[in-house]
Chain A
Amino acid sequence: MKQPHLLRGLWQLNQRLSQRRMMQAITAALRLVYPFVLVMTFIDVIGQGFLMKTGFFYQIYHIGHWLPGITIWQQGFTALGLVINGVVAVMIAFATGYYLARSYHGDALTVGIMSALAFLTLNLNYGALGAAHAGVSGVPPFVTTNLGPQGIFLAIVIGLTVGWLASHLMRGLATWYLRHPRLGQLGWTGRIAIPLMSVLIMNGAIGLGLSWLNHGGLNGLVYQGLSNLVTNPGHRGLVILAVTALNNLFWWLGLIGPVSLAGNSAVTSLQNLAYAVQHGSGWGAPNPITLHTLGDAYANFGGAGMTLALVIAIWIGSKQVSYRRIANQTFLPNLVNLNEPILLGLPVLFNPILLIPFIVAPAVNIGLAWCAITWKLVPPIVYPVPRTTPGPLMAFLGTGGDWRAFILSLVCLVVSVLIYLPFIQVLNQEGGSDHAA
């Protein structure tokens, strides 16, 4: 199959990377976690989309009016959603450590547990330890937000570090004892206890040291820095473009969610809403170019990276059975902008081929929307839309039913699918037993 130079180069890069132990461990770990996350996301789809007061389907079907016992349903689904969502990063830390240790033919299960513990150690609520001594109860021992999806990046890093370190430490200890028989036999417990102690002490020291800098642990530090960098892009289109690209890069790395669809309540959005209410439409609104009017409305179908377009591109162009299956399974979550399953399932994370469309497609859409709004082809979105609104409807509903905005949404979707398509076709070459259905 003839391919442009760039794509061939990418393919080679992908091949080379996927030969590496670390990439294999990451991919295997993400694939292991995928079904869990998929189940959780379906619960979230129902919980957030249908049962929450802010959910799109809750509002359009007036579910609160006819579903008996709505609060019980809400509580039940929130509880279920919390279980896996709350600890998905711990699972990934475990799985990454496990698979890396297995590739070193080490004691995989033990190393996996160690990396999960190491990850938890880094996310201890060090600030609250003093409080526990002082007899103050009710402070959670862990920084719980870091254990969810936003901790995935750190979990992978810890999984790889501990996986490598502990495997080598355990092997080294064993050989050292073999060489020095007069020290006696190293027991099973000792073989585990010594590396575990060293890993925990190391991570505890890092975590404690960082807690003097910042309250949210290491993850909090990374996250806070990124959030400060990206949450306030102002009015200028180029800055918005850069911020979105950077944000999508972070998502690709597993730093999920520094910028999320919170634009409804930003000051600029409120000003736009006030204007629209007084003048009847968004034409001439005071802040036509913001992250909300560009990114949320036209570049977030399915979530960061226009993953709804990725699903459609797979339907059209992929010959990989596993890809098609994952696309089918994650279509519904993608429709309501919950794209964690497809990010972990394909996986999109750490996939060098998909990185390019993952960043380029939203950027192109923002560019299109920017032009269209500046040239007064469409009004900016002004009315608040629920987070779970299907992406292509967002601009239409947010403008109060402007058909031009709907057409622009469809154009954006088609363009994104076209951007994803060649990369999906490159991935068709990926073969091997693990991709067979």
Chain B
Amino acid sequence: MRHNWWRWLLGIGLILVVFIPSLAWMQHRVTHYKSNYKTPLNPTIMVPGSSASQNRFDALISELRKETKVGHSVLKVKVATNGQVSYTGSIRRGDNQPFIVIAFENNQDGYTNINKQAQWLNIAFKDLVKTYHFNHFSALGHSNGGLILSLFLEKYFSETKHVNIDRLMTIATPYNMESDSTTTRTAILKELIAGREQLPKKLTVYSVAGTENYSSDGTVPANSVNQGKYVFQNQVAHYTQITVTGDNTTHSDLPQNKQIVLLIRQYLLQEELPAKERANNRSGIVRRSITGEAGLP
């Protein structure tokens, strides 16, 4: 029995050698799962431009539903000037890619209005996250809606922890308002450029411009859309500019333009398009497991 004590000591030592590293490992794994986890619910938040209601995207949505044969459900949100949020429609149970259209009672154009709308968007966004518990989403902004979304991402998005934005597509968004100039910057562009460091680093941005002629879509100057590069380029993970010409390219027709519907399906919704519909080669889109690593789910 003399040698019994060191056997015990060896046993305890062995247990500690396994136990302590496994504790550390476990903590590491748990935080890893938490930070990499993506909810199945992955909504697309759509923000219409000035003077447009929450029904602005109806034509686009029915087009998308017809093309994709996926019954994306639609939730429409309207934010009153006092911050009151009202809902119409609903997210269907089991639909992981719903559309959420957020519109504002005060939908006027202009620097102060757009800034207020970004604030209202934040109120609605927080309410949505609290209700539906998604932790990632994509966004689509038409015209000034793109400005509202960009401002929101810079100024208010960080208030909501643990939620990431995957992709943002802006359609004919006038980053330099109505200005055709490539040198003078309007107040809103200055503000966006000043706050660009706050943009999410993993974000992918597509800026789509339509042109009737070589300089404008009839409302927004092409140069103004182009100014978006001073906001996003070198700030987000990817920034892509796309110009669409041809039929239905006037400013207000753009959201239901066939080419743009295709772009939305391909880039924003990341659908697997049939080969004949695939305008460009899609690459770099890899199906991931929910934790984003091989071997473990």
Contacts and interface: CB of A to CB of B under 8 A. Distances in A.
B87 interface: no
A383 B39 contact: no
A278 B21 contact: no
B55 interface: no
A269 interface: yes
A274 B37 contact: yes
Contacts of B274: none
Interface stretch (A52-60, A137-145, A346-354): A52-60
A401 B39 contact: no
B297 A383 contact: no
A397 B29 CA distance: 10
B289 to A, nearest CB: 9
Nearest to B296: A384
B27 A401 contact: yes
A1 to B, nearest CB: 26
B18 A60 contact: yes
B297 A269 contact: yes
Contact of B295 (A54, A60, A276, A393): A54
Interface in A379-416: 383-384, 389-390, 393, 397, 400-401
B185 to A, nearest CB: 42
Contact of B297 (A56, A61, A265, A401): A265
Contacts of B297: 264-265, 269-270, 273, 384
Nearest to A270: B297
A390 B22 CA distance: 10
B25 interface: yes
A265 B297 CA distance: 6
A53 B135 CA distance: 29
A201 interface: no
Of the candidates B290, B295, B296, the one having the most CB atoms from chain A within 10 angstroms of its own CB is: B296
Contacts of A384: 296-297
Interface residues of B, number: 22
A277 interface: yes
B26 A397 contact: yes
B12 interface: no
Interface in B17-34: 18-19, 21-27, 29-30, 33-34
Interface in A360-392: 383-384, 389-390
A59 B40 CA distance: 28
Given A54-B296, A59-B25, A277 B37 contact: yes
B39 A400 contact: no
B33 A273 contact: yes
Nearest to B135: A278
A47 to B, nearest CB: 15
Given A54-B295, A270-B297, A383 B30 contact: yes
B290 A274 contact: yes
- Helix, strand, loop or mixed for chain B's interface? helix
Contact of B34 (A59, A61, A277): A277
Of the candidates B24, B25, B34, the one having the most CB atoms from chain A within 10 angstroms of its own CB is: B25
Contacts of B290: 270, 273-274
Interface residues of A toward B: which range?
A: 20 to 34
A53 B29 CA distance: 14
A274 B34 contact: no
Given A61-B21, A273-B297, A383 B29 contact: yes
Contacts of A60: 18, 21-22, 24-25
A53 B296 CA distance: 10
Contact of B133 (A278, A390, A401): A278
Interface string B1-22: 0000000000000000011011
Contacts of A278: 37, 39, 133, 135
Contacts of B18: 60, 390, 393
A388 to B, nearest CB: 12
Given A60-B18, A265-B297, A270-B297, A401 B23 contact: yes
Contacts of A56: 22
Interface in A186-235: none
Contacts of A401: 23, 26-27, 30
A400 B297 CA distance: 16
Of the candidates A60, A383, A401, the one having the most CB atoms from chain B within 10 angstroms of its own CB is: A60
A274 B39 contact: yes
A148 to B, nearest CB: 22
A409 to B, nearest CB: 13
A393 B15 CA distance: 11
A264 B30 CA distance: 15
A383 B26 contact: yes
A273 B23 CA distance: 19
Interface in B78-115: none
A53 B294 CA distance: 10
6 contacts: A56-B22, A277-B33, A278-B37, A384-B296, A401-B27, A401-B30
Q: Which 6 A-B pairs have the closest CB atoms?
A: A277-B37, A60-B21, A60-B25, A265-B297, A60-B22, A397-B26
Given A60-B18, A264-B297, A400-B26, 16 more contacts: A53-B295, A60-B22, A60-B25, A265-B297, A273-B33, A273-B37, A274-B39, A277-B33, A277-B34, A383-B30, A384-B296, A384-B297, A389-B22, A393-B18, A393-B22, A397-B22
